[in-house]
Amino acid sequence: MAGPERRKKPRLTGDVDGEARIIPPTRDMTYSLPSGRHLASARRREIYVHASRLFVEQGYDATSMSDIARAVKITKAGLYHFVESKEDLLFTIINWGMDELYEEVVDPARAVEDPRERLRLIIRNHLSNIGRVASPYGNPVTRVVDEASALGPERRRAVEDRKRGYFELIRNTLVQLRDRGELADGIDPTVAAHSIIGAIMWMARWRRPRGRLSLDEVIEQITALTLQGVLAAGVAD
């Protein structure tokens, strides 16, 4: 396992490019994996649900295909009837999460003209997305996205491009706010955008479903706190 070629060659048999949106999201209080084209059968859905859970609980590398097979009550060979490879499993799960992020956060945000309200919506919706799943380990996607380093170079870059797209949305919103004089003095939009995302993502690590505060309370707290951190005094309602 020397440096550059950590993993075997990515089998890009043409399924990477035009078909980035693999899975449409569903609203669900359990792990929500939908009935998209690639996930037509209930069995397939079950596999992805259990895999994402295990990846979150144990990490991608620490989870074996046998672990996943056992969870789905199937043999490993049976599992490979539905799945091309372990990396494929990870890539699909990550893309599912990114689809959700774009549909629930990015797309609605782009429809909001006022940058202050847009920023508020982004923070609130992203937190809502992360917190919606009542797992003892937090939202699967938020944690599994971190495992993108296990992907081959092309797929990893595809994931990173979508991450960057989200980051730029926030950063551009902050630039717009600065131009209007609504950003706190001296605050750099890039640093501020990263810090906001950090505070948001961190919630997936510490929040537990049966905590003292409800999800909505936590969301309002973090939203208020991050907005006050970057907006000029008196602007943040």
Partner DNA sequence: CCGATCTAACCTACCGATCGGTAGGTCGCA
Partner DNA sequence: TGCGACCTACCGATCGGTAGGTTAGATCGG
Closest CB to its own copies among residues 109, 196: 196
Closest CB to DNA among residues 8, 27: 8
* 58 belongs to the binding site for its own copies (CB under 8 A): yes
Separation between Cα atoms, residue 75 and residue 50, nearest integer Å = 14
Spell 73-96 as b/e; 16+ CB within 10 A means b: ebeeeebeebbeebbebbbbbbbb
Q: Which of residues 68-107 bind DNA (CB under 7 A)?
A: 74-78, 80-82, 85-87
Main-chain phi, psi angles of 202, to 5 degrees: -60, -30
CB-based contacts of 167: which residues, under 8 Å, 6+ apart?
Answer: 193, 194, 197
* 53 belongs to the binding site for DNA (CB under 7 A): no
Closest CB to DNA among residues 91, 102: 91
Q: Which residues pair with 183 in a beta bridge?
A: 231
Tokens describing residue 14: 């043409």
For the bound state, the minimum distance from the C-beta of residue 21 to its own copies, rounded and expressed in Å, comes to 25
* 94 belongs to the binding site for its own copies (CB under 8 A): no
* 212 belongs to the binding site for its own copies (CB under 8 A): yes
When binding is defined by CB under 8 A, the residue of 150, 158, 159, 177 that contacts its own copies is: 150
CB-based contacts of 82: which residues, under 8 Å, 6+ apart?
Answer: 41, 43, 44, 47
Helix (H, G, I), strand (E, B) or coil at 231: strand
When binding is defined by CB under 8 A, the residue of 111, 136, 186, 237 that contacts its own copies is: 186
Tokens describing residue 158: 């595809």
Binding site for its own copies (CB under 8 A): 1-2, 6, 58-59, 61-64, 66-67, 70, 149-150, 184, 186-188, 190-192, 194-203, 205-206, 212-213, 217-218, 221-222, 224-226, 228-230, 233-234
